[in-house]
Amino acid sequence: MMKFRNRPAPDEPVAPNTVIGVSSSFRGTLMVTGTLVIEGEFEGDILNCDRLEIGEHGVMRADIEVREALIRGRVHGNIRALGTIEMRAGARVEGDVAAMSVMMEPGVFFTGRCTMLEAGTAGVDIVSEGRARG
């Protein structure tokens, strides 16, 4: 008899691979494949992260590049997402953001610059190559 693994529906959130819980703090470099949820405090570098979620009690002090980001807590640093950055009510972001899509609910405190990417990394590479040649 064959058994098949259940695949999550497209709208169903994927379970996080790594969680930094409330009342926890971490300083250093994290290499996370998949989803990282920060409910505590994090300071350092995040590498290879597909999705980053900052919980309402979460505090992050870092510059990061991810595919997607969901911010409910505080971020001190720049965020670059190759897809979407979503900031929910109560979030506090102090730094620049760059993404293909940025969503911000009423009640978000945002200080910084917002740059819209044209076509993910391909668009960024084309622009940077054009500047290098010119």
Residue 8 falls within a domain, yes or no? Answer: no
Residue 10 falls within a domain, yes or no? Answer: no
Span 15-40, pLDDT tens digits: 788 899 999 999 999 888 899 999 99
The amino acid sitting at 50 is: D
Residue 62 falls within a domain, yes or no? Answer: yes
Residue 35 falls within a domain, yes or no? Answer: yes
Above 60 in pLDDT, residue 127?
Answer: no
Q: How many domains does the chain have?
A: 1
* Domain containing residue 51: 18-133
User: Does pTM surpass 0.95?
Assistant: no
Residue 77 falls within a domain, yes or no? Answer: yes
Residue 12 falls within a domain, yes or no? Answer: no
Place of tokens 């760059």: 98
Above 90 in pLDDT, residue 13?
Answer: no
Residue 13 falls within a domain, yes or no? Answer: no
Q: Are 44 and 63 in contact (CB under 8 A)?
A: no
Above 80 in pLDDT, residue 92?
Answer: yes
The helix/strand/coil state of 77 is coil
Helix (H) / strand (E) element for 132: namely helix 120-133
Residue 51 falls within a domain, yes or no? Answer: yes
What's the mean pLDDT when you consider all of the chain?
83
